[in-house]
Structure 1
């Protein structure tokens, strides 16, 4: 499995404001780049916090890119993955519509009634871990389902956890020309944070996009 983390952040490393409201960091050229990444992926993953805050569809926007997937014998849209230890994904969330298959990763601690509600909406539940999702086990199950190229779009808690478990292969970030500030504003990798054995990266590409820049790194092994 190849896991690519993709994100847009401000020049000071913030994903959104301290109020966790959506922020227009990048523009149309970067949106098109992200859409191409989605179209090339087998699945797009987010944490439940992103679902609760933004209610994203995680689908390919370009009709031509969707058509290319179909011509290649693939589903119209990549599958969707939600890391959701307690099954907090709302039953009416857009990611549970019929635009694509959706996997919800839950722990044993997720209430049975919430799991049942998600299953009734058509989600495929992957249970791994007692209190929190065991990402290594869950992603192994996803790989068994045929998902080899996974794009991760946030948020910071999931991204940190994926780096912490050694699952990330590549990091692609659009850095926008604004300062957001705020010690409570989410960053690219939140979670507990590293105090030793920091993941290291090798810069593989730099591309200026408008007044911002797309930086791509591979993760050192």
Structure 2
């Protein structure tokens, strides 16, 4: 989908300096959990764009992105200040790492919790096994993680090492990794140490 103006339906706080934007789904927008979009805006007279991975289970009528708000950032504070009825420009979806109707093991570092909860909700609704290992010293989306756990998913939240947690779940389905490079590197090591094959993992490296 080329750049399209979409309306903001809702903005809510989902964690420390973290918001979720619910956006109106434009025609012919067919994204899967795990894929990402490009948001464009003019902020302070400057054109700014950033990629954000979907954090909703589907894109029927609306879709969601989760934004970590850096007070010194170019775009995230502006997004956090949006109100229902405001508009943003969206392109996409992009990405080859996406849900494919299967049991899932979701390793999430920091903002990687966004795609993890969306994909976990979708897989659970489809009747699949779900495991989430989430590393963060200030967790976001705790309500949705609790709902996943109540629905039968294995949810492990840690602010430290992930090796033991990964060893518990690595054989539970297709492994996905969402996070920045350090977390990705730690996840790859943990998967291999636990007897899994990191080459088979689907990885979205945020840089």
TM-score, scaled relative to structure 1: 0.34
Greater strand proportion:
2
Higher relative contact order (CA 8 A, sep 6+): 1
